[in-house]
Amino acid sequence: MKRIAKFHKVSFEQFAKDWKDTFDNSFEEVSKEEIKNIYDSLKLPKRATTGSAGYDFYAPVDVTMKPGEIVKIPTGIRVEMEEGWVLKCYPRSGLGFKFRLQLNNTVGIID
């Protein structure tokens, strides 16, 4: 079977920049060593089962959200795709239904 896409980690430098951009004003100061530990534990997206419709993405840390709160979560993941293909990001239907979890721009499109 021909692969049309591959997932990779972004560089540590890019992840650290994105992490600080996202969380510097939200949480306590996080050291470079703590960010490196989070980066090292990143999991690449994978299919949960052979017949899965898509890939599961993983948050790099646990996040607790308050009702109505908006949170941007840097995944640390980049995708390499063949020309003409697109990656679409959807929250799992159970999460959206049970907890009203949704992507801010409805469907994330990466091309």
Instruction: Show Cβ contacts of residue 70 under 8 Å, excluding neighbours closer than 6 positions.
Output: 104
**Contact assessment for residue 45 and residue 111, using Cβ atoms and an 8 Å cutoff:** no
Q: How far is CA 76 from CA 31, 35, 39, 66, 91, in A?
A: 17, 11, 7, 24, 17
* Per-residue model confidence as pLDDT tens digits over 4-52: 779 999 999 999 999 988 877 655 677 889 999 999 999 999 888 888 8
Is residue 111's pLDDT more than 60? no
- Mean pLDDT computed over every residue of the chain: 82
DSSP state at residue 84: T
pLDDT of residue 30: 78
Q: Are strands 5-9 and 87-89 parallel, antiparallel or unpaired?
A: unpaired
pLDDT of residue 15: 95
Which of 7-11, 59-63, 92-96 is modeled with the greatest confidence? 7-11
pLDDT of residue 55: 86
pTM: 0.76
Residue 96 corresponds to which amino acid? G
pLDDT of residue 64: 84
Higher-confidence residue: 63 or 43? 43
The H-assigned helical ranges of the chain are 12-23, 32-40, 93-99
Domain ranges of the chain: 5-110
